[in-house]
Amino acid sequence: MITLFKNASLYSPLSEGKKDVLVAGKTIIAIKDHIDAPAGLDVEVVECNGKRLIPGLIDAHVHITGGGGEGGPGTRMPELEVSMMVDAGVTTVIGCLGTDGITRSVESVLMKVKYLRAKGMSAWMYTGSYQVPTPSITGDFKKDIALFEEVVGVGEIAVSDHRSSVPTTEELAKLAAHARVAGMIGGKAGIVNVHMGDAKDPFRPIHNVVAGSELNYRQFVPTHCNRNDYIFEDAKEYGKKGYVDITTSSYPYYVDEEIKPSVALKQLLDSGVPIKHITFTSDACGSLPGFDPVTGKLIKIEMGLPDSILREIKEAVLDEQIPLEIALQVATSNPADILKLESKGYIAEGKDADLVLIDDDFSIIHVMANGKMVK
């Protein structure tokens, strides 16, 4: 299959001006000011008319087999559907378990990754869950990372949260060190994805690990860093040393507690956090629970959706006046670089053809995943 995108305003994610983009198979093979359709071949020409062509979004924290369950069986969330990705302009997901590493399995996450790949999308996963010691496929999370191509790291490991297993500094340090070495052996990022809870001084467990070991902050990706005002204030300093992940789904449901992601991006940048240290993820198909601060009883639960990422990028551009080529990085090139997804995150020759065509209002016109038009 050969596809030619003509007259696109190209964001690679950097602004490249008006370009033509030629795709053959699953790969971008040429980007030029002008490309003629190859003679004698069946070429689908997509006339972009100056609309913006951006990389397919990477949602690097998704409960692809469903999450939740904090309020009993009736609060379990459904699995991710391919249509949810396509409608959100998301072409790549990183799956994970969360709270429920008890009745949900890492094996089911792996099979869901395989399912999404079979349907033409791109997917990887974290092994493990909130708990330490953490569940795995082989019985050893290190072997999962080293041996399974689909596994990029371990997580979502919970800290600073009443649902965590309260790992000690030594336990967290050993987990991170083992993940790093397993990543080196397997050619993976070996990242530890960390669920950040509502406790005060929430980054303290990571600070303690770094202070007492040879590990550095870039071994961790702490998520939910906009869940309340005090964790976000800490994130403004933490982000100068390591990565901070902003959860996009929860803001409409918890406006009195959450920092709006588009606003959070602006404030992080203004605080001196490098753009390459910031990511947006949706927490899609995970539960977004609210607990009574006194009794600990679940009082509210919602579900995350992947389309929240593009919505918050749009509002970062339109409301916070952040240039599109900056805002796009949080869900394209940044997660690709952090997680060592070599063929993802950029529109460049030799990269996978994951492309999204949007209009001035950020409405999605076309989505291409691995060289196939899916919308």
Candidates 247, 151, 236, 241; CA nearest to 197 is 247
Would you state the structure tokens that stand for residue 199, as one six-digit string? 């406790």
In the numeric block, which tokens belong to residue 46? 């997509």
Please name which of 292, 283, 281, 203 lies closest in space to residue 239, comparing C-alpha atoms: 203
CB distance 238 to 209 below 8 Å: no
Lookup: tokens for 37: 């359709």
Edge-to-edge order in the sheet of strand 220-223: 57-62, 90-95, 122-127, 151-159, 191-196, 220-223
Cα 164 to chain centroid distance, Å, stands at 21
CA 112 to CA 221: how far, in whole Å? 23
- What amino acid positions are annotated as catalytic residues? 283
Strands, E assignment, the chain:
2-11, 15-24, 27-32, 43-47, 52-55, 57-62, 90-95, 122-127, 151-159, 191-196, 220-223, 244-247, 278-281, 287-291, 298-303, 355-358, 364-369, 372-373
Give dist(CA 68, CA 63) in Å, integer: 9
Measured CA to CA, the distance from residue 311 to residue 108 in angstroms comes to: 30
Q: How far apart are the first and last CA of the chain?
A: 16
Separation of CA 239 from chain center: 17
